[in-house]
Structure 1
Amino acid sequence: MKKRRSKYFIITLLIILILLVLGTFIKLPYYVTKPGLAQELEPIIDVENGYEVEGKFMLTTIRMGQANIFSYGWAKLNKYYEIYPINQIRKDNESDEEYNNRQLYYMEDSQESAITVAYKYANKPVSTKNHGIYVMQVVKGMPAADDLKPGDRVFQVDGIEIKDQNEFIEYVGNKKENEKITLTFEREGKEQSVTIPIVPFPDIPDKIGIGITLITDKEVISDPKVTIDTEKIGGPSAGLMFTIEIYNQLIKEDLTHGLNIAGTGTINSDGIVGPIGGISQKIVAADNSNVDIFFAPNENGKPNSDYEQALETAKDIKSDMKIIPVDTFEEAIKYLESLSDKK
């Protein structure tokens, strides 16, 4: 009898272990997002000979991963967890590598805009130089798929220097079907060359090309020099806070006033603040990090804006944070400058 019980126990244990393994490693066609962190910006942004501050400017993040059975179920039980079908996160036929590469590009682009806006506002020298194109995505079934991969930097075509995506598109557009071009590119610090034929796209037979999605590789040149180390953080949503942190290091006045100040929002080269995803989760992340003030995209006052959602979430979690609506970088700076008058 004891042997039979022991046998049943072992079988039951094995079944449980198998279910745990399946539940952990089998991926569902969904992504789960949840509140992340409010991360101080000064340790990752350094303006050469920049000014020190008493408080903190912080970016806010969300955590995201493809769902398994357990994370999907847990998300269903938590109010500020979100579940998205995979096609709402990744583009059609986009691999994990291509998705991550796209997010890192968005982060890099937001940094470039942030530097440009902050330096111009501080009346400091800043300019942009192009260094060719980045491969963002390769089209399956097209010639480039055999030789190029996301993250490759193409800087020559047929020995001719290519500075931006428009030059590349124009050059390829003047070629004929089945002509070949030789690309010189950089991958992981090593220079390589490959010859690729130009063919029609499978779904668009009237259009020819090699099958890549591309963007311009830009370098922002500033004086004093600024370095930003965001490691593996991706996406464009930290643009506003990057800009504020850089500007604050460029000027003598400390705009933090000793407070913890966070926020979110994209930034373009004109200083316009754009909406982002996951605003409620970022409010939770900021509140967990004892943030005093949070900047939220106002979207020019449209209904259900990021700002309105942020207010609603802050009220729901009983946060003492002050939520400030902004449409531009300048509005955020004017608000911060006014804080000294309120003390």
Structure 2
Amino acid sequence: MHKKLSIGIFFILAVFLIGGMYYSLPYYVSKPGMAKELAPIITVEGGYQEKGNFMLTTVRMGRANIYSYIEAKMRKYEEIYPLDMVLNEQETEEEYNVRQLHLMAASKLNAIEVAYHKAGLPVHYKYKGIYVMQVLQGMPAEGKLQAGDRVFKMDGHTFPSSKDFIEYLGKKSAGDQVTLTYSRNNEEKSVNLILQPFKDQSGKAGIGISLVDDKEISVDPEVKVRTDEIGGPSAGLMFTLEIYNQLTKNDLTKGYQIAGTGTIDPDGTVGPIGGIEQKIVAADHAGAEIFFAPNEKGAKDSNYRAALKAARDIKTKMKIVPVDTFDDAVKYLEKLPKKK
């Protein structure tokens, strides 16, 4: 009897423990990720070699279960975020993942543009259409389109930019029909959608998608950036530095291990990112000696100030350098003495 009772209790406990691994809580947990060397990821045809390394830094983000939630509560550099702080309104987790991958793609394009312009080389774009980032509930596109679809025609027309695509759609009214031609999993499809009013925008009608440009960049020499499944825009600055360094004869690394983070705009502006403290931890673990952090024009709550605080807390010897633009980072590195 006692043996059967013990087996029963053990079975119930095992089910509870295993179930705790698969039961998702309404939170995300982020923790320090990795600092990854960029030279194996980015290749400029005929590019110059470097003695040191530029590194991108990441955070690990995942849906919380009971164990990861408890672990994050106990560890200093792990953070817990409610779903609505990570996902946009009405956004699914699948759409979030698609959004992150397209933000990474846009970040790579911006990095190439800034680096080649800085090196005095021409850049050419070819617009191919738009990617669907999110489908709004209760709107015509729901159930017809999905995140990741590439729309390349509307009513048989192609467009030179997403701005023209939006302007064409904006001239139509609720009740009008449009035919979209799109690709999904390399298969061409078409769908007819009837515009309807947006609930929160008086007088405006649409099909209910958020979008991002689908375009190719053409440069000479050719550059390849392989990021696999890394998402988000936060590696923009470091991508730009690595590409530019391979394009120019003088090695900006000068033998140092250089990490950093920050988005990059086409004009070279460096923008803030999330998880800067965790990226400081990741860079320190990887042996980085210099870390570039978005300065946000000296704002009191800037990424730079948060990075500096984290660096002091973990007692790293890594130098934290504030930057507002790509040029700021280049000027700092140009003045840096070569590592002995």
Task: Give TM class, smaller chain.
Answer: over 0.9
Q: Which residue of 1 aligns with 2:194?
A: 197
Question: What is the TM-score with the length of structure 1 in the denominator?
Answer: 0.96
Name the SS for the 1:247 alignment partner. Answer: helix
Task: Judge conservation of contact 1:134–1:215 (CA < 8 Å) in 2.
Answer: yes
Q: Which residue of 2 aligns with 1:58?
A: 55
Q: Which residue of 2 aligns with 1:9?
A: 6
Counterpart code for 2:225: I
- 1:304 CA displacement: 2.7
User: Among 85, 88, 93, which residue is 1:91 paired with?
Assistant: 88
Counterpart code for 2:22: F
Gaps of 5+ in 1: none
Q: How does 1:145-160 map to 2 (within 5 A)?
A: 145-160=142-157
User: Among 330, 333, 336, which residue is 1:336 paired with?
Assistant: 333
Q: Which residue of 1 aligns with 2:252?
A: 255
CA distance in 2, matches of 1:323, 1:82: 22
Task: Judge conservation of contact 2:255–2:339 (CA < 8 Å) in 1.
Answer: no
Name the SS for the 1:13 alignment partner. Answer: helix
Cα displacement string for residues 7-35 of structure 1 (whole angstroms, at most 9, x for unaligned residues): 12211211211211231111111110000
Q: Which residue of 2 aligns with 1:132?
A: 129
Cα displacement string for residues 255-285 of structure 1 (whole angstroms, at most 9, x for unaligned residues): 1112111000111011111111111000000
Cα displacement string for residues 122-151 of structure 1 (whole angstroms, at most 9, x for unaligned residues): 111212222111111111122211221111
Q: 1:56 to 1:23 in 2, by over 3 A?
A: same
CA distance in 1, matches of 2:7, 2:268: 64
CA distance in 2, matches of 1:51, 1:338: 20
Name the SS for the 2:249 alignment partner. Answer: coil
Q: Which residue of 1 aligns with 2:242?
A: 245
Identity %: 56
Q: Which residue of 1 aligns with 2:108?
A: 111
Task: Judge conservation of contact 1:51–1:250 (CA < 8 Å) in 2.
Answer: yes
Task: Judge conservation of contact 2:256–2:339 (CA < 8 Å) in 1.
Answer: no
Name the SS for the 1:332 alignment partner. Answer: helix
CA distance in 2, matches of 1:214, 1:108: 14
User: Among 38, 41, 45, which residue is 2:42 paired with?
Assistant: 45
Task: Judge conservation of contact 1:155–1:163 (CA < 8 Å) in 2.
Answer: no
Gaps of 5+ in 2: none
Task: Judge conservation of contact 2:31–2:60 (CA < 8 Å) in 1.
Answer: yes
Task: Judge conservation of contact 1:295–1:325 (CA < 8 Å) in 2.
Answer: yes
The worse-fitting range, judged by mean Cα deviation, of 194-203 and 65-74 is 194-203
CA distance in 2, matches of 1:223, 1:339: 29
CA distance in 2, matches of 1:274, 1:112: 16
Cα displacement string for residues 157-184 of structure 1 (whole angstroms, at most 9, x for unaligned residues): 1111123222122212222322211111
CA distance in 2, matches of 1:178, 1:270: 40
CA distance in 2, matches of 1:120, 1:246: 11
Aligned residue pair count:
340
The worse-fitting range, judged by mean Cα deviation, of 202-211 and 136-145 is 202-211
CA distance in 2, matches of 1:160, 1:33: 43
Name the SS for the 1:145 alignment partner. Answer: coil
Name the SS for the 2:336 alignment partner. Answer: helix
- Residue 274, structure 1, aligned to residue 262, structure 2: no
Task: Judge conservation of contact 1:164–1:215 (CA < 8 Å) in 2.
Answer: no
- Residue 164, structure 1, aligned to residue 169, structure 2: no
CA distance in 1, matches of 2:237, 2:11: 52
Counterpart code for 1:165: S
Task: Judge conservation of contact 2:254–2:339 (CA < 8 Å) in 1.
Answer: no
Q: Which residue of 2 aligns with 1:76?
A: 73
Task: Judge conservation of contact 2:273–2:303 (CA < 8 Å) in 1.
Answer: yes
Name the SS for the 2:59 alignment partner. Answer: strand
CA distance in 1, matches of 2:309, 2:323: 16
CA distance in 2, matches of 1:217, 1:342: 42
CA distance in 2, matches of 1:304, 1:213: 30
Task: Judge conservation of contact 2:255–2:338 (CA < 8 Å) in 1.
Answer: no
